[in-house]
Amino acid sequence: MVASASVLESRRAQLPGAAQQATDLLVADLARFSTLLEDLLDLARDYGPLDHESLPVFDLADVVRDELSGSWRQELVVATGDTRVRADRRRMKRVVTNLVKNADVHGAGVTEVAVDRRDETVRLSVSDSGPGVSAADREAVFERFSRGRSTPLRGDKGGTGLGLSLVREHVLAHGGATWYEESPSGGARFVVEIPAART
- Please state, rounded to an integer, the average pLDDT across all residues of the chain: 85
Mean pLDDT along residues 162-187: 91
| Fold of the domain built from segment(s) 52-195 | Heat Shock Protein 90 (3.30.565)
**Distance between CA 178 and CA 191 in Å, rounded?**
6
Highest mean pLDDT range out of 8-12, 27-31, 69-73? 8-12
Instruction: Check residue 159 and give its pLDDT.
Output: 59
| CB burial readout 37-58, b (16+ within 10 A) else e | eebeebeeeeeeebeeeebeeb
Q: What is the pLDDT of residue 189?
A: 97
> Counting beta carbons within 10 angstroms of the beta carbon of residue 119, is it exposed (0 to 12), middle (13 to 18) or buried (19 or more)?
exposed
For the stretch 107-160, pLDDT in tens is 888 999 999 999 999 999 999 999 999 989 999 998 877 755 544 444 445 556
Taking phi over 0 as left and psi of -120 to 50 as alpha, with beta for the rest, 66 belongs to alpha
Residue boundaries of the structural domains of the chain: 2-44, 52-195
Q: Say yes or no to pLDDT of 195 above 90.
A: yes
pTM: 0.77
